[in-house]
Amino acid sequence: MRTVVAALTLVACLLSTMPVLAQAPTAADDPHAGHARPAEVSVPPRQADTSLPPFIRPLTDEDRAAAFPDLHDRAHPAHGQSINSLVLFEQLEWRNAAQDTLAWDVKSWVGHDVDRLWVRTEGDAEDGGVQEAQVHALYGRAISRWWDLVAGVRQDWRPGPAQTWAAVGIQGLAPYFFDVEATAYVGGGGRTHLRVETSYDLLLTNRLIAQPLFEFEIAGKSDPRRGVGAGLTVGEASLRLRYEGRREFAPYLGVLWRRTFFGTADLARRDGREVGGVSVTAGARVWF
C-alpha cells in the first residue's frame, strides 16, 4: 500500500512540472539570445507594369530613325558607297526540243545599293546557229526595300533584222517570295511589246530546290518579218530541280512547256516551225 501511495505522489509531482517544461527557453538555453531579429519585410502585391527599368531610357524618334534608315537618305548611307557586282547565269542549259538547243538567260549588275547598271541577255542556238538573241542595258534604281525601277534599251539580234527598243519596267520580290520581272517596250514603227516573268524557289531541303517559272509575252502589232503576231505571242511554263552542293554552281534537271498563240502560231505554221511542245532540260545555275 505504501508503494502505491509513493507512486501516485511521484506522478503528481511530474504533472505539476509540465507547464514549466513547456515554457520558452531561457537566455541561457537559447543560443541566439541577444541577437536582434530581422524586421519583417512587407512585399506589395505584384502589379502589371509595362514601364522600362530605371537604367534603360525610353526610345526616341531619333533611335528609331537610326535603327531603320531610309534608303534614299544620302546623309545616312545604309551600306556605304562601295561598288559591288554580280553575274548570274540563271539558265545555261541544253533542251531536247525538235532539235537539240542550247539556251541561256544571264542577269548581271554593277553599282551601289540604290543605283545600278543592269545587263540582261537571253537566247538560244540550234545546229551551231543563233536562232534568237537579245541584250538589255538598263539603269535600275531601288524605289522600295524590295523593288527596283529599270529603264534603258533592248537590242534584238535574232530572229529577223536587228531592232532596238526603249524599255521600262519593274523587278523585285513580291509577297510570298515570288521573283517578278515585268518590262514594257516601244520600238520603231510604233510597235509595243510586254513581257512578264515570275518564278519561285521552293526549298525541298537546304540544298535541293525546285523552281517553277512562268513567262508570257504580248505584242501590240504584227511583225511578219520576225514571225510575231499581234496579241499574246508566246507562253512558257517550266520546272527545274537543282542541287546546290555549292551555291555558286548548281546543276539542275527540268521540264519545259512552250507554245505560241494566235497570229504568232499562224506565222510559225506558215514557216514550217513547231507551234509548241514539251522538252527536257539539263544545265547549271552559276553565279560569281
pLDDT digits (tens, 9 = 90+) for 168-211: 999 999 999 999 999 999 998 889 999 999 999 999 999 999 99
Look at residue 31 and tell me if it is in a domain: no
- To which H or E segment does residue 98 belong? none
For the entire predicted model, the pTM comes to: 0.70
Look at residue 135 and tell me if it is in a domain: yes
Q: What is the 3-state secondary structure (H, E, C) of 51-88?
A: CCCCCCCCCCHHHHHHHCCCCCCCCCCCECECCEEEEE
pLDDT digits (tens, 9 = 90+) for 129-157: 898 999 999 999 999 999 999 999 999 99
Look at residue 67 and tell me if it is in a domain: no
Band (pLDDT 50/70/90 cuts) for residue 125 is: very high
Look at residue 123 and tell me if it is in a domain: yes
Distance between CA atoms of residues 278 and 98, nearest Å: 9
The per-residue pLDDT for 64 is 83
pLDDT digits (tens, 9 = 90+) for 35-92: 445 444 454 554 545 567 877 888 888 888 888 766 555 554 555 578 999 999 999 9
Enter the DSSP assignment of 27: T
pLDDT digits (tens, 9 = 90+) for 224-235: 888 899 999 999
Band (pLDDT 50/70/90 cuts) for residue 4 is: very low
Domain of 96 in residue numbering reads as: 84-287
Backbone angles phi, psi at 58, to 5 degrees: -65, 150
Look at residue 7 and tell me if it is in a domain: no
Look at residue 26 and tell me if it is in a domain: no
Q: What is the CATH number of the domain that holds 236?
A: 2.40.160.40
Which cell numbers in the block locate residue 155?
537590242
The per-residue pLDDT for 189 is 86
In total, how many domains does the chain have?
Answer: 1
Look at residue 138 and tell me if it is in a domain: yes
Helices (H), strands (E): how many in the chain? 3, 13
